[in-house]
């Protein structure tokens, strides 16, 4: 992508932290294994997130909520036991000139409601059709299901526009990307144009979209789409003693990045319980992935409840300036450097071991079925491995 942005477009790309998320919906036709993917890189003012298991009115589900939300009333991305998964990005060019009698910003409440009762895209559309005007919404909702469905729904107060990712005329590459504007909304309004551009460029370079690619490259994307500056490429700082700062604005990874959920669906003939939630519950450059499945509350690793706190401590070392606008200045050497001692330098190879182990378990479970005993054993290994990695390699303990 080469950058001929107008000043107006540049201004539109800067936005308060709570407004900025980057996402993708990928059909099975575009992935390396035929299974759909749903990705949300979440930016929010509530940077302490948690993963919760909820026994729903019809379907149980696992999702990401704000830690301060003690009742988990708002879910910001998740998947239920029958393989229906949803996430959103806020849109700022829908509902132009419209008025609704209900409060705005109800996306989290809405997603919790649909996770409890929807099994597929048809259910989701029926839910929206039956509740027109009752939700204060302005969002791009990404959805996949266990039947191969994959779509974006740009939803306002009274209507929605569907973009079927399996339709080659709508998504010629088999995937779509959304940030904080809607294609169906008012032209040249909204936010996240630069993030949309750099993420599209990254995806377009792939022959097939994989879990590894989204976790390693898209979720930890440190290339600035307008300045063409990649913080993961040369010239890098020498080592962690190098005190060079960079202005850290309008990257996909932001100071307000809080969590990522990459939901890997199933093939139409597979058990929906095998839907995998690749969860990065913290600032992404310093947080190891914790894969989970919607199986039962008792089987969720205890680790995911405390990994967020460890990530917050490590993140703080990357932003040591606490006065004024210090949060906008990254101490580059703490993240990555020529000596390979940066936090991201340590996280990425450590995470590969988790991905490889998890893929081996997935292959086994797809053939023989997911068993509680094996899942408990896997979770025990995962918790031990992550604790050792943080304590030994990153120098950061994780609370018991």
What per-residue confidence (pLDDT) applies to 362? 97
What per-residue confidence (pLDDT) applies to 303? 84
What per-residue confidence (pLDDT) applies to 19? 60
Residue 12 pLDDT exceeds 60: no
Three-class secondary structure of residue 138 per DSSP: coil
d(CA 366, CA 141): 28
DSSP strand pairing (139-144 vs 85-90): antiparallel
What per-residue confidence (pLDDT) applies to 400? 61
Count of positions (residues) in the chain: 400
What per-residue confidence (pLDDT) applies to 234? 86
pLDDT band at 373 (very low <50, low <70, confident <90, very high): very high
Given a contact cutoff of 8 angstroms between Cβ atoms, the answer to whether 142 and 88 are in contact is: yes
Domain ranges of the chain: 16-216+228-393
- Answer left, alpha or beta for residue 83, where phi above 0 means left and psi between -120 and 50 means alpha: left
Three-class secondary structure of residue 51 per DSSP: strand
In terms of Cα–Cα distance, which of 152, 131, 150 is closest to 140? 152
CB neighbours of 209 closer than 8 A, spacing ≥ 6? Answer: 26, 30, 31, 32, 37, 174, 175, 203
Residue 325 pLDDT exceeds 90: yes
Residue 8 pLDDT exceeds 50: no
> pLDDT over 70 for what percent of the chain?
95
Residue 6 pLDDT exceeds 80: no
Q: Which of 3-12, 161-170, 234-243 has the lowest mean pLDDT?
A: 3-12
Residue 149 pLDDT exceeds 50: yes
Omega before 235 cis (within 30°)?
yes
Higher pLDDT, 228 or 388: 388
d(CA 375, CA 181): 39
Give the tokens for residue 360: 């081996």
H or E element that contains 194: helix 193-204
DSSP for 164-187, written as a single string = ETT-TTT-TTSEEEESBS-TTSST
What per-residue confidence (pLDDT) applies to 20? 84
Dmax (CA) of the chain:
59
Please state the pTM of the whole predicted model: 0.94
Residue 3 pLDDT exceeds 50: no
pLDDT band at 4 (very low <50, low <70, confident <90, very high): very low
Give the tokens for residue 271: 């058990």
Fold of 16-216+228-393: Penicillin V Acylase; Chain A (3.60.60)
- Give pLDDT tens digits for 252-303: 999 999 999 999 999 999 999 999 999 999 999 999 999 999 987 778 877 8
Give 83's DSSP letter.
S
Q: What is the mean pLDDT of residues 337-351?
A: 98
Mean pLDDT score of the chain = 93
CB neighbours of 210 closer than 8 A, spacing ≥ 6? Answer: 31, 32, 33
Label residues 271-290 b or e (16+ Cβ within 10 Å = b): ebbbbbbbbbbbbbbbbbbb
- Give pLDDT tens digits for 154-186: 999 999 999 999 999 999 999 999 999 999 999
Q: What is the 3-state secondary structure (H, E, C) of 95-122?
A: CCCCCCCCCCCCHHHHHHHHHHHCCCHH
- Between the alpha carbon of residue 378 and those of residues 98, 214, 375, the distances in Å are 50, 23, 5
Distance between the two ends of the chain, CA-based, in angstroms? 46
What per-residue confidence (pLDDT) applies to 11? 38
In terms of Cα–Cα distance, which of 215, 298, 297, 264 is closest to 366? 264
Three-class secondary structure of residue 52 per DSSP: strand
d(CA 174, CA 395): 41
pLDDT band at 13 (very low <50, low <70, confident <90, very high): very low
- Give pLDDT tens digits for 59-118: 999 999 999 999 999 999 999 999 999 999 999 999 988 999 898 999 999 999 999 999
Locate the DSSP E strands across the chain: 22-26, 37-43, 49-54, 61-66, 77-80, 85-90, 139-144, 150-155, 160-164, 175-178, 223-224, 229-230, 245-247, 257-264, 276-280, 290-293, 329-331
Residue keyed to tokens 């209507």: 159
DSSP for 328-366, written as a single string = GEEEHHHH--TTS-SHHHHHHHHHHHHHHHHHHHHHHHH
In terms of Cα–Cα distance, which of 338, 350, 359, 358 is closest to 314? 350
Which long-range contacts (C-beta less than 8 Å, at least 24 apart) are formed by 150-153? 150/25, 150/26, 150/27, 150/28, 150/36, 150/38, 150/265, 151/25, 151/121, 152/25, 152/176, 152/178, 153/124, 153/125, 153/128
């Amino acid at each position: 992508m080469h950058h001929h942005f107008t000043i107006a477009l540049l201004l539109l790309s800067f936005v308060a932290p709570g407004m900025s998320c980057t996402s993708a919906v990928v059909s099975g036709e575009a992935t390396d294994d035929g299974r759909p993917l749903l990705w949300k890189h979440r930016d929010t003012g509530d940077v302490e997130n948690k993963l919760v298991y909820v026994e729903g009115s019809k379907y149980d589900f696992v999702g990401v909520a704000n830690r301060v939300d003690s009742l988990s009333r708002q879910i910001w991305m998740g998947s239920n036991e029958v393989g229906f998964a949803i996430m959103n990005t806020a849109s700022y060019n829908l509902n132009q000139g419209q008025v609704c009698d209900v409060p705005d910003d109800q996306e989290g409440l809405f997603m919790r409601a649909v996770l409890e009762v929807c099994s597929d895209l048809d259910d989701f559309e029926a839910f929206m059709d039956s509740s027109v005007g009752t939700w204060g919404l302005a969002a791009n909702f990404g959805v996949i299901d266990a039947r191969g469905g994959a779509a974006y729904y740009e939803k306002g107060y009274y209507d929605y526009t569907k973009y079927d990712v399996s339709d080659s005329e709508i998504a010629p590459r088999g995937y779509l990307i959304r940030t904080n504007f809607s294609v169906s909304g008012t032209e040249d309004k909204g936010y996240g144009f630069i993030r949309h551009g750099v993420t599209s460029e990254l995806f377009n370079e792939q022959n097939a979209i994989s879990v590894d690619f989204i976790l390693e490259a898209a979720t930890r994307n440190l290339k600035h789409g307008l300045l063409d500056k990649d913080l993961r490429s040369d010239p890098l700082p020498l080592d962690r003693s190098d005190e060079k700062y960079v202005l850290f604005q309008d990257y996909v990874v932001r100071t307000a990045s809080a969590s990522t959920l990459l939901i890997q669906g199933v093939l139409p003939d597979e058990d929906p319980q095998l839907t995998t939630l690749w969860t990065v519950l913290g600032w992404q450059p310093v947080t190891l992935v914790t894969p989970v499945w919607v199986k039962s509350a008792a089987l969720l690793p205890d680790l995911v409840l405390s990994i967020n706190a460890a990530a917050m401590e490590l993140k703080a070392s990357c932003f040591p300036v606490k006065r004024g606008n210090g949060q906008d200045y990254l101490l580059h050497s703490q993240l990555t450097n020529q000596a390979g001692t940066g936090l991201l330098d340590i996280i990425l190879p450590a995470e590969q071991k988790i991905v490889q182990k998890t893929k081996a378990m997935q292959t086994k479970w797809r053939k023989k079925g997911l068993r509680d005993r094996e899942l408990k054993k896997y979770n025990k290994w995962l918790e031990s491995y992550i604790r050792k990695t943080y304590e030994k390699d990153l120098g950061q303990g994780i609370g018991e």
